[in-house]
Amino acid sequence: MPQHPLDKFHFCPLCGSDRFVVNNGKSKRCEACGFVYYFNPSASTVAVIVNEKNELLVVRRAKEPAKGTLDLPGGFSDCYETSEEGVVREVREETGLSVDSVKFLFSIPNIYPYGGLDIHTIDMFYLCHVNSTQNAIAADDAAEIMWIPWEDVKPETFGLTSIRKGVQHILAKKIHNI
């Protein structure tokens, strides 16, 4: 039987009781105060950016998990931020590029290992348009950025499972030709 997603959480976040028990497959319940905490996926964004030469913007991961492997710009949405705002912010933080429009493509559920926990995410892929690619720089979580022609994009070189699946989906559906 797989480990319950909240197994590492032993105390009720509301009252602090240690009588925090599995309620069902998605939640834990406090036997002391009755609070039920549901475990839901975190929102994460992925940017698909194509330049005028029909090349994909790819970053090399600067941090674990999958440090040193290829990735697409993106990351977790912040509180009080829409997913669209999150992808725009993440692209700016990782590449210095300004996104002027986003179009939702699809989503993929994912498990992102972080700090000894498996963070369940829903990775939302967006086709992002930028006015200029001239000032692209690697920053924040990106160690390097590169533009790769679509015919040279190899899904197996992407270190995170959901990104690899997303790249496979994009290639299979020819979404990059939109």
Neighbours of 166 (CB within 10 A): 26
Q: What is the CATH number of the domain that holds 149?
A: 3.90.79.10
| Mean of per-residue pLDDT scores for the chain | 92
Catalytic positions, written as ranges? 144
- 10 with 97, same domain: the answer is no
Residues 64 and 120 in one domain: yes
The pLDDT value given to residue 2: 58
So what's the pLDDT on residue 1?
Answer: 47
Other residues' Cβ atoms within 10 Å of the Cβ of residue 30: 21
Q: Which domain holds residue 20?
A: 1-39
Q: Model confidence over 90-135: pLDDT tens digits? A: 999 999 999 999 999 999 999 888 888 888 899 999 999 998 877 8
pTM of the complete model: 0.88
Which pair of tokens denotes residue 145?
């950025």
Sign of the dihedral defined by the CA atoms of residues 22, 26, 30, 34, in that order: negative
- 138 and 100 within one domain: yes
Q: Based on the domain organization, do 46 and 124 belong to the same domain?
A: yes
Q: Please give the tally of structural domains in the chain.
A: 2
Three-state SS annotation for the chain: CCCCCCCCCCCCCCCCCCCEEEEECCEEEECCCCCEEECCCEEEEEEEEECCCCEEEEEEECCCCCCCCEECCEEECCCCCCHHHHHHHHHHHHHCCCEEEEEEEEEEEEEEEECCEEEEEEEEEEEEEECCCCCCCCCCCEEEEEEEEHHHCCHHHECCHHHHHHHHHHHHHCHHHC
pLDDT band at 10 (very low <50, low <70, confident <90, very high): very high
Q: What is the pLDDT of residues 25-50, one digit of tens each?
A: 889 999 999 999 998 999 999 999 99
Same domain, 166 and 143: yes
